């Protein structure tokens, strides 16, 4: 039972981190695309790459933090 609870916490932490990271990445990517005057449709690609990269990093770290918090020794 405790294992399922820990897995649920890690999954929730990763999902929450991905959501927060995606939001921050979208805002930062938009700012950088405007600042560096990225031309045309490349803005969409730049913002998307920044959003996905930031979401992945935040999700990974928040998921790992949740795993450590569970007290499991892997």
Q: Which domain holds residue 44?
A: 18-68
Q: Which two tokens stand for residue 19?
A: 């959501």
Helices (H), 1-74: 2-35, 42-70
The answer as to whether 39 is a domain residue is yes
The answer as to whether 50 is a domain residue is yes
The answer as to whether 6 is a domain residue is no
Write down the pLDDT at residue 70.
Answer: 87
The CA-based dihedral angle spanning residues 61, 64, 68, 69, taken in that order and rounded to the nearest 10 degrees: 70
Taking the C-alpha atoms of residue 7 and residue 13, their distance in angstroms, rounded to an integer, is: 10
* 15-73: pLDDT as tens digits: 999 999 999 999 999 999 999 999 999 999 999 999 999 999 999 999 999 988 887 55
- Tell me how many domains the chain contains: 1
The answer as to whether 41 is a domain residue is yes
Q: What is the DSSP letter of 73?
A: -
Q: At what angle do helices 42-70 and 2-35 cross, to 10 degrees?
A: 150
What pTM, to 2 d.p., does this model score? 0.85
SS3 38: coil
The answer as to whether 5 is a domain residue is no
């Amino acid at each position: 039972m405790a294992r399922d609870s820990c897995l649920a916490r890690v999954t929730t932490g990763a999902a929450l981190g991905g959501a927060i990271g995606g939001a921050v990445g979208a805002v930062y990517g938009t700012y950088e695309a405007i600042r560096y005057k990225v031309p045309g449709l490349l803005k969409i690609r730049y913002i998307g790459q920044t959003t996905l990269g930031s979401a992945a990093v935040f999700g990974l770290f928040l998921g790992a933090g949740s795993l450590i918090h569970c007290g499991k020794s892997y």
